[in-house]
């Protein structure tokens, strides 16, 4: 799991514990934004210079609640559920709360998410795989992209395709996971190139070609940088 727990603080698998603290926080925020979309997106200013994921979310909620001015306008509706969660946040109370309705304000929705999940935590494989899929879709808008048997496929011209197998774990070039590599070769054929994609990490800073002479086939182990930059495919 990766994220933060109300009772234990930040949590991260071994892979991310090797990252510098602020880099780990930034990586989580980028992946969180890719998963949750605009409604819950963390502002860059909220994540800047934060040493913990918890600090990011506390700062984000505070920014969302900040009053920028007072305007004379009619109040059409009052969301009681939103008010309850906001008051809880201001008191520092993140206990789970069961209400008849759901909050409508964005800040209250985020507070409710934290209260009802004892923090913000996700399975690291699920989060990274969603991030990679999101980036692939954004960079290949004119291509058919689909998932099949644990692999993300990008359709190319003339019946060719690229298969991406996402692996959110540490990669050891001296002792690679032979079973995973064998499964990757099993997906490869004359019309399908296979990439094993890992988060960029020490020991995996550039592509590594793995060749099987018996099959006359090659796959690539690819480091994937976690950031907001989208490199679009050249026409």
DSSP string, 95-139: -----SS---SHHHHHHHHHHHHTEEEE-HHHHHHHHHHHHHHHH
Position 36 scores a pLDDT of 92
- Beta strand 145-148 with 9-11: parallel, antiparallel or unpaired? unpaired
Same domain, yes or no, for 92 and 169? Answer: no
Same domain, yes or no, for 100 and 46? Answer: yes
Has residue 69 got a pLDDT over 50?
no
Same domain, yes or no, for 116 and 147? Answer: no
Residues 2-59: tens digit of each pLDDT: 999 999 999 999 999 889 999 999 999 999 999 998 888 998 889 889 999 999 999 9
Same domain, yes or no, for 115 and 147? Answer: no
* Residue in 178, 184, 182 with CA at minimum distance from that of residue 166: 184
Position 71 scores a pLDDT of 47
Same domain, yes or no, for 170 and 112? Answer: no
* Cβ neighbours around 192 below 10 Å, total: 16
Number of domains in the chain: 2
Taking residues 200-210, what's their average pLDDT? 93
- Answer for the pair 87, 108: CB distance below 8 angstroms, yes or no: no
Domain of 178 in residue numbering reads as 143-224
Position 22 scores a pLDDT of 92
Q: Compare 110 and 173 and report the one with higher pLDDT.
A: 110
Using CA atoms, how far apart are residues 51 and 106, in angstroms rounded to an integer?
24
Has residue 73 got a pLDDT over 80?
no
Weakest-pLDDT range from 10-19, 65-74, 130-139: 65-74
Position 79 scores a pLDDT of 87
Beta bridge partners, 5, equal 9, 119
């Amino acid at each position: 799991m990766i994220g933060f727990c109300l009772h234990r603080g930040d949590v991260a698998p071994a892979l991310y514990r090797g990252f510098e603290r602020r880099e780990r926080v930034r990586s989580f925020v980028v992946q969180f934004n890719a998963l949750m979309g605009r409604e819950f997106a963390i502002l860059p200013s909220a994540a800047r210079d934060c040493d913990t994921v918890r600090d990011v979310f506390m700062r984000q909620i505070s920014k969302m609640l900040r009053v920028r001015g007072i305007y004379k306008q009619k109040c059409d509706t009052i969301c009681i559920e939103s008010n309850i969660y906001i008051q809880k946040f201001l008191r520092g109370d993140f206990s789970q709360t069961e209400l008849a309705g759901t909050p409508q304000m964005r800040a209250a929705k985020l507070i409710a998410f934290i209260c009802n999940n004892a923090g913000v935590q996700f399975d690291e494989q699920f989060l990274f795989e969603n991030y990679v899929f999101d980036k692939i879709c954004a960079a290949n808008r004119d291509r058919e992209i689909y998932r099949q048997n644990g692999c993300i496929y990008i359709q190319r011209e003339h019946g060719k395709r690229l298969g991406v197998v996402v692996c959110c774990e540490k990669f050891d070039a001296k002792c690679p996971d032979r079973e995973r590599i064998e499964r990757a070769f099993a997906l490869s054929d004359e019309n399908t190139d296979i990439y094993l994609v890992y988060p960029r990490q020490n020991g995996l800073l550039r592509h590594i070609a793995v060749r099987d002479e018996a099959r006359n086939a090659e796959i690539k182990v690819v480091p994937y940088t976690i950031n907001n930059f989208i490199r679009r495919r050249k026409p």
